Each structure stands twice: as C-alpha cells, then as structure tokens.
Amino acid sequence: MSTTTRTTVRTTGVALRAMLVFTLALGVGYTLLVTGIGQLALPWQANGSIVTAGDEPVGSALIGQSFTDADGNALPEYFQSRPSAAGDGYDGGASSGSNLGPENADLVAAIEERKAAIAELEGVDVSEVPADAVTASASGLDPHISPAYALLQVPRVAAARGIDENEVRSVVESHIQQRDLGFLGEPRVNVVELNLALDALAQ
C-alpha cells in the first residue's frame, strides 16, 4: 500500500470516527440532555403547554384556535381570535403570515371586509375595531388578542351567555397578561384560556 493510499485510509477513518462521535454527542446526547432539563425544569412548556378542560386536552396556550361553527361563522358565546393565515387557520404545520405588504390591494380589501364584519357582529362603528381584530400575526398562530379587542366583545358574549356584562368584563380583566418583565411586548389576553374560564363560570 502506497503512502498516499495509507494517508487517505487514515484520514477517512479519522473523519468517520469524528462523525460518529459528534453524531452521538450532539445528535443524541445533547438532545437527551436538553429534553431531560426541559422535562425537569419546565414540564408543562416542554410538552406543548397543553390546556385542558377537566381531563381532556382542548388546545395549547401557545397556539390560537378558531371559535366558529362549521360554516366559519363566529360562535356568539365565545371570544373570537384574531385572523390567521396559517393553512386553513391556526394550522400548526403551516405557520405563516400572508406576506402581503400594507399597500397590497388584496390585503386592504380583506381588512376592510373584516372590519365591516366585526363591526356588525359587535354592534359598533368600524372605527372602534382594533387593528389586531382584522390582521393576522406573522406566525398565523398567535393565541392572544389585545385587551381592547377582548373588551369590545364583552357585550356580545355576555348577551349570548345570559351573564351580566360586568361579570364578563371582570373575567376579561383578570386574564390580561402584562408586558413580559414589565417592558417586553404589549398587554394581551389568551383567547383559549379566557373562553375556558367563561365555560367554567357557567358550570
């Protein structure tokens, strides 16, 4: 065997051993380590932040969902989420925004249509409809709405459930999450958790 061949074989062997070691260390060992830390330190978050009603999983606190009937009409007794451009709506396997610019004619038309629909549903003027009520988030999976949009829906939800408006408003206000660390993001309301709280109140 020539020197060149021996060098090639040795180099190839070193490369294969290095690949095997790093695959085991980083592909297997690191994954198991991080998974183990997640399960020990933050098990709820590590397992998908699953929200339950009774013992049944009904969604995730991190992924929004629609509260509509089979025809896509808003269920009046539930708070509505913001629009979603992820697949057919809140599809975790197709996270995306519309990727349309603010001057895109299709986006402008969709926003105007949504404004009119929400204004009619809530019995308010179109000028009172908050921006997050008519625009999808970048991920299309945002589970939150603004306090303004949540409070706008209080009269409808209260009427549909036969509950005093002040009681529903109190539930909304108790579910307003403040800015993270006091300065990151905006105050928000998790729609799934809010609707579950109202269901529990009814029971």
Instruction: Name the DSSP letter for residue 115.
Output: H
Got the DSSP string for 28-78? Answer: IIHHHHHHHHHHHH-HHHHTT-EEEETTEEEEETTB----B-TTSPBPTTS
Distance CA 86, CA 93 (A): 8
The number of domains in the chain is 2
Distance CA 177, CA 184 (A): 12
Statement to judge: residues 81 and 160 lie in one domain: yes
Got the DSSP string for 145-184? Answer: E-HHHHHHTHHHHHHHHT--HHHHHHHHHHTEEPPBTTTB
pLDDT at 131 (0 to 100):
94
Statement to judge: residues 64 and 144 lie in one domain: yes
Statement to judge: residues 77 and 16 lie in one domain: no
Range of the domain at 27: 3-43
Map tokens 């330190």 to a residue: 41
Read off the pLDDT of residues 121-174 as tens digits, 9 standing for 90 and up: 999 999 999 999 999 888 889 999 999 999 999 999 999 999 999 999 999 999
Statement to judge: residues 147 and 84 lie in one domain: yes
Q: How many residues does the chain have?
A: 203
The amino acid occupying position 168 is: V
pTM, to two decimals? 0.81
Q: Which two tokens stand for residue 82?
A: 């913001």
Read off the pLDDT of residues 24-66 as tens digits, 9 standing for 90 and up: 999 999 999 999 998 998 888 888 889 888 888 888 889 999 9
Q: Is the pLDDT of residue 179 over 70?
A: yes
Statement to judge: residues 60 and 144 lie in one domain: yes
Read off the pLDDT of residues 158-173 as tens digits, 9 standing for 90 and up: 999 999 999 999 999 9
Statement to judge: residues 81 and 150 lie in one domain: yes
> Does the residue 155 lie in any domain?
yes
- DSSP-derived 3-state class of residue 190: strand
Do 43 and 123 form a contact (C-beta atoms < 8 A)?
no
